[in-house]
Amino acid sequence: MKILTWNVQWCRGIDGRVDPARIVAEAKRIADFDVLCLQEVADNFPDPRLAGNDERDQFAAIAALLPGFEVIPGVAVDHPGEGGRRRRFGNMILSRLPVRQVFRWLLPHPLQPNTPWMARIAVEAVIAAPGGDVRVITTHLEWYSERQRAAQVEALRRIYADGHAHASEARVTTDDGGTFQTFVRPKATVICGDFNLEHSSDLHARMVAPFADGTPALANAFELLNPGAPYPATFCIHNVMPGYGQLHCDFFFVSPEAAARITAWQIDQDTQASDHQPLVLTLS
């Protein structure tokens, strides 16, 4: 099972061209993925709202380019637009493996006065993988507000821990196909995306910190395979922002049950189809 995660910057490459087809083609070149997790997917945010963009619905455009994949959009930003059409921005998961339960978790945004922010979401899909079901969660945390980013890290930890507790119970209480239908949750969990925090930061340390209630801690998948190695740059490799160097902010975090199934972790630092670099995690 290969999971590819990528912040696609509304499908805008380093050359300034917006092209969903190029994103899908590059993703296919990089890996024969079973699950594709994307961040910064746009619908109806034309330039100058998003640089170089047009009005197209990228959620639909990307889905059309991957026939046979189940499509799970996760809209975080939802604004009114001209002519009654909404403007939408967020994440999505596409899976060619069967998808069981889907959850959409709106993340907290505590007030930080005079600081820009946008709504953020974590999208979760329980994927029926050959080696056993896996919770795949993709997210994109706040860039400007450290207070909000810290609250969102805590929310992700709660989402993981709550799901792990349900998995430990592993009991179907309602089995009638109705709204209270129970599905058994898997313990194996992968949380991926653009966390907008550095590998060396306190918030990264918080993501992998122990839980007071005994929930097994998450781990950075790269570190499990490469103990002591420097974490590779995932952002601002080909277009360094003024005041910043290369950044290290895109990750796979895994539960012990998923960690035991990792066979490979890779990054493509060559593609220039976005300002971030895609990561691929392989599970047995």
Question: What Å distances lie between residue 82 and 44, 147, 227, CA to CA?
Answer: 10, 33, 52
Instruction: State pLDDT tens for residues 129-150.
Output: 999 999 999 999 999 999 999 9
Answer yes or no: pTM beyond 0.85.
yes
pLDDT for the residue 245: 87
Q: Strand 121-127's sheet: what is its strand order?
A: 99-106, 121-127, 134-140, 189-194, 250-254, 219-220
pLDDT for the residue 5: 98
Instruction: State pLDDT tens for residues 39-67.
Output: 999 999 999 999 999 999 999 999 999 99
pLDDT for the residue 73: 98
Superfamily of domain 2-283: Endonuclease/exonuclease/phosphatase (3.60.10.10)
Instruction: State pLDDT tens for residues 196-214.
Output: 999 999 999 999 999 999 9
pLDDT, average across residues 97-112? 97
pLDDT over 90 (residue 251): yes
Question: Where do we find the tokens 């296919």?
Answer: 28
- Listed in sequence order, the residues at least 6 apart from 165 whose beta carbon sits closer than 8 Å to its beta carbon are 215
The mean pLDDT of the chain is 96
pLDDT for the residue 244: 82
pLDDT for the residue 239: 86
pLDDT, average across residues 67-77? 98
